Amino acid sequence: MDRNAILVVGSANMDMVVVAEKFPQPGETLFGRQFNMYPGGKGANQAVCAAKLGGETHFIGRMGNDLFRERLVQNMASDGVVMDHLLIDEQEPTGIALITVDGGGENEIIVISGSNMKLSPADVESRRALFNRVGVVLAQLEIPLETVARTAELAAAAGACFILNPAPACKLPVKLLQRVDFLTPNRLELELLAGMSILDDIESVRCAAQRLLDQGVGNVLVTLGERGSLWVTPGEARLFAARRVQAVDTTAAGDAFNGAFAFALSRGETVPQAIHFANRVAAFSVTRMGAQSSMPTAADIEEWV
Ligand code: RIB
């Protein structure tokens, strides 16, 4: 192993996905078009994305001792993720997510965390040696915040680049923000983190991102869906446009962006190159159903471009 490798510390869920023409109103019953189960979870999705693109990718997570774990592990391993560091929880079931996708490909998600929320700082600590062997560490917020904080400390101590995808968003302690090299919120997550509402213009997004830079974050990369992504550093903001596509399912587009960005950085790409690439991978992912099933290989991307 060399330091081109990537470590993802995060969640894995079995996604139960219903596709319907529109989202139901409160109290309304609708007929859906189809139902399917797909391997998901933000951490696992990002790991699968990086691995399918060709990165040596390791995953630290906690799953239950059940059938969903078996299916998720099988899927992640067959996509190339190294699963040697997985922890198994005898009390809690593997996480699940209930997802509705509407006719325009938009989604609504409810997560039941199960074993994901049992991934402790001590669990991550027990895999400490791994941090010294990777170049990029990637985490999200579907595991306990103290575990994310410990992950950030271990990444810093090992001299690895730390990317935090703050999803689903919650207020973050300044000490954690100061250890983040790249923070990758979407617009709604940025609003919550910055504590201000964001208007429809880029300047407003930049102002909110600046608040996080002021608290010590290295770079803020805001994912803006079909508008692309905005890279904000002290004194500069640069918009990277996204390719227009017909969206089938936007679930895990953010995960595709993060996994691809981590992969490109681990390969020594510059930040602008990595953002261009991540935009492309995220756009590709929305043209396919499911989370991990929508992640492309490097060949898929080359062909598509
Ligand atoms: O980001 C998409 C993911 O969010 C889904 O796969 C679901 O499991 C939830 O974690």
The model's pLDDT over 47-60, given as tens digits with 9 standing for 90+, comes to 999 999 999 999 99
pTM of the model: 0.97
Cα(234) to centroid(ligand 1), Å: 31
The model's pLDDT over 252-278, given as tens digits with 9 standing for 90+, comes to 999 999 999 999 999 999 999 999 999
Q: Which two tokens stand for residue 160?
A: 């690895």
Mean pLDDT for the stretch of residues 107-124: 98
Name beta bridge partners: 11.
none
Q: Annotated catalytic, 255? A: yes
Q: Which of 48, 101, 140, 255 to mutate to test the pocket of ligand 1 (most atoms within 8 A of CB)?
A: 255
At residue 97, does pLDDT exceed 70? yes
The model's pLDDT over 199-221, given as tens digits with 9 standing for 90+, comes to 889 999 999 999 999 999 999 99
Q: How far is CA 185 from CA 45, 110, 239, 301, 304, in A?
A: 16, 19, 15, 24, 26
CB 32 within 8 A of CB 16: no
At residue 187, does pLDDT exceed 70? yes
What local confidence, expressed as pLDDT, does residue 10 receive? 98
At residue 1, does pLDDT exceed 50? no
At residue 72, does pLDDT exceed 80? yes
Mean pLDDT for the stretch of residues 24-30: 96
| Residue % of the chain over a pLDDT of 70 | 99
